[in-house]
Amino acid sequence: MTYELLQSNPESIVEGVNLLWVLVVTFLIFFMHAGFAMLEAGQVRSKNVANQLTKNLLTWSVGVALFFLVGATVEGLVGGAGLSWQMNGSSSGWVTWLFGAVFAMTAATIVSGAVAGRAKLRAYITYTVLIAAVIYPVVSGMSWYDGGLLAGLGFADFAGGMVVHGMGGIAGLTAAYVLGPRMGRYNEDGSANVIPGHSMTFAVLGTLILAFGWYGFNVGTAATVFSIEEGAIALGDFSYVGRVAMTTTIAMASGAIGAGLISWVKTSKVDTLYVANGLLAGLVGITAIPNTTTWWGAFLVGGLAGAQLPIVFNFVEKRLQIDDVCAVFPVHGSAGVLGTLLYSFVAVDAWAGGANVGFMIDGFVTQLIGVAIITVWTVAATGLIWGALKAVGQARVTPEHEQEGLDVSEHGVETYPEFGSGEGVVADGGTANFTEVTNDD
């Protein structure tokens, strides 16, 4: 005796399961904003924590609204999909839009860590509007739509190693360069001063939340659980999802190890923040290629992405003298570029039956062209926006406000009032004095 679902429709089952899967991983990616908030809050000074948290909240809120109203249409037009794109009023269309939106917002929020401690909130929000509406959609449209320029060349970026993270890291570095360093970051002779963040605990917590959400980012891009083949249900993208999960995990671990080793070699100490950021750099490095990479390639890409972090951060800090507060360029920018360029050298197809040198060279050239085009567009657009804001005096807070802290000057609050100036802002806009209480007993 056999049992079958009464009036079962394979197409309905496949669509329902696939939509459920995409929604679950979309929610995981959204939760990465909690990780970004904690990681960045931990790496800024206590007087700027509320400002950093507000930027993270508004990145999502403002950015997702603009991506809905403008960005998704720009993305479709650049990608050759016209005005119809994917938001067609159907349930699957809305889910597809939301899945794209969480990727867009990840790219946007990366920039906030680079400009921490001195950017005006209005300037940052202005940039968020434009990155969500134009800058990121141009990149994603070129890369992920069939009619896009880079997609037509064969550019490979599975989950956004360059499209999301590389672009975000390069944008952050550009914005930080235009803004200039924080007060006290450099001495007159050009030597750098370390301005430590206020909470290593928050930074590590944020790292682990991001790593958890990254499974939605990478594994979730294998978006179709099932497909229909000859009228029967078959595995869709899940036919290779195991490789994606495996390479993502190995690269994550290797990134932390690589950064820790380089830190130890350089200073005889294992820097905790380097290990945390190295773990993230390993994830960024593999994000463009988790579906094609060999197991040993995952170790190589993740390890190199982690190892380059202390070196690139030192170069940016001391040679370029750019104050990238949360190390967004070495974590997202250079790690994303590295992993994207290594695609053809660690791909399974490159080693099937021996080293396929032609595949490696052709793949590298295509990837290099894609990285170059995305870099030029991102630097030009970001530099133009922040340069214009700087020209009209709206990019950076005043020296007095920077010294006071952005929590008070931009938001009228102190994140830790017990350890602040002794005055806390109350609901009616006035201040309340905190007096010391002693126990005479």
Phi and psi at residue 432, in whole multiples of 5°? -125, 130
| Token digits of residue 413 | 């609050």
Q: Is 186 helix (H, G, I), strand (E, B) or coil?
A: strand
Exposed/middle/buried for residue 196 (C-beta within 10 Å: 0-12, 13-18, 19+): exposed
On the question of pLDDT at 230 being above 90, the answer is no
Domains of the chain: residue spans and CATH: 10-418 (1.10.3430.10)
Mean pLDDT of 317-331: 97
Distance CA 258, CA 279 (A): 9
Predicted pLDDT of residue 425:
43
401-414 per-position pLDDT tens digit: 999 999 999 999 99
On the question of pLDDT at 435 being above 50, the answer is no
Predicted pLDDT of residue 421:
55
383-398 per-position pLDDT tens digit: 999 999 999 999 999 9
How many C-beta atoms lie closer than 10 Å to residue 88's C-beta?
11
On the question of pLDDT at 426 being above 50, the answer is no
Predicted pLDDT of residue 440:
42
Q: How many residues does the chain have?
A: 441
193-222 per-position pLDDT tens digit: 999 999 999 999 999 999 999 999 999 999
Enumerate residues 6+ apart whose C-beta is below 8 A from 398.
409
Query: Which of 80-84, 95-99, 145-149 is predicted least confidently?
Result: 80-84
Mean pLDDT of 18-25: 96
On the question of pLDDT at 437 being above 60, the answer is no
Exposed/middle/buried for residue 142 (C-beta within 10 Å: 0-12, 13-18, 19+): buried
Nearest in space to 121 (alpha carbons), one of 411, 427, 426, 420: 411
43-94 per-position pLDDT tens digit: 999 999 999 999 999 999 999 999 999 999 999 999 998 775 555 668 888 9
Predicted pLDDT of residue 418:
76
Mean pLDDT of the chain: 92
On the question of pLDDT at 260 being above 60, the answer is yes
Predicted pLDDT of residue 359:
97
Distance CA 321, CA 314 (A): 9
Q: Is the pTM of this model over 0.85?
A: yes
